[in-house]
């Protein structure tokens, strides 16, 4: 499957709102190939030369529904900092990820969120949990894992897992007051 800006479903396609179903493990060859292609898209999308050559929009994650496959598969590549300010690099190819706990404290990106499936700009804060715990099978490590995510990684994972429910980031924006700062929320 060719994954590029032309083949990624946009939010004007009602299929993007379909719910995704769990995937049987061990992965079929078809599901494994798809997940690896999605991961490669994310990796290549941040390489300016490849992005221009292959018509890729920069991304930190992609879910299978975005390429027309309603399955609980997502690929995430995030560069962030740990709590001490040291650079950290996260790479996941997740199958059937589930949020098993989330913090009461909220967080949002000061710049707002974007999405490969959303071409129009939607301004406003997307308020999410500041910390989450996710259980999933990870194709990179080849085993079931538990991810304790905070700040930026937590936001990215929540964004991708929302796709499984047919939810887009702008569904979370307070349309009456898009830039209201929720009490106690962390701005990232």
Enter the DSSP assignment of 95. Answer: E
What pTM was estimated for this model as a whole?
0.96
What superfamily would CATH give domain 14-187?
Peptide deformylase (3.90.45.10)
Enter the DSSP assignment of 21. Answer: B
Distance CA 174, CA 89 (A): 31
Identify the residue whose tokens are 């999933």: 136
Helix (H) or strand (E) holding 149: strand 143-150
> Are residues 155 and 128 in contact, defined by beta-carbon separation less than 8 angstroms?
yes
Distance CA 85, CA 65 (A): 34
> Are residues 163 and 65 in contact, defined by beta-carbon separation less than 8 angstroms?
yes
> Are residues 159 and 172 in contact, defined by beta-carbon separation less than 8 angstroms?
no
Could you list the active site residues?
160
**Domain range summary for the chain, segments of one domain joined by +:** 14-187
Q: What is the pLDDT of residues 63-106, one digit of tens each?
A: 999 999 999 999 999 999 888 889 999 999 999 999 999 999 99
Q: What is the pLDDT of residues 95-126, one digit of tens each?
A: 999 999 999 999 999 999 999 999 999 999 99
């Amino acid at each position: 499957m060719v994954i590029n800006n032309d083949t990624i479903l946009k939010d004007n396609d009602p299929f993007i709102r379909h719910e995704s179903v769990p995937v049987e493990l061990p992965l079929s060859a078809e599901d494994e190939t798809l997940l690896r292609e999605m991961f490669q898209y994310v990796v290549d999308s941040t390489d300016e030369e490849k992005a221009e050559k292959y018509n890729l929009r920069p991304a930190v994650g992609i879910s299978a529904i975005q390429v027309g496959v309603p399955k609980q598969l997502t690929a995430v590549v995030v560069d962030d900092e740990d709590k001490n300010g040291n650079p950290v690099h996260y790479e996941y190819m997740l199958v059937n990820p589930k949020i098993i706990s989330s913090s009461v404290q909220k967080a949002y990106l000061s710049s707002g969120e974007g999405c490969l499936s959303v071409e129009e700009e939607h301004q406003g804060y997307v308020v999410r949990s500041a910390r989450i715990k996710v259980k999933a099978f990870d194709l990179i490590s080849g085993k079931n894992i538990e991810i304790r995510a905070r700040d930026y990684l937590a936001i990215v994972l929540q964004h991708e897992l929302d796709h499984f429910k047919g939810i887009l980031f702008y569904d979370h924006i307070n349309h009456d007051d898009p830039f209201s700062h929720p009490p106690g929320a962390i701005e990232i």
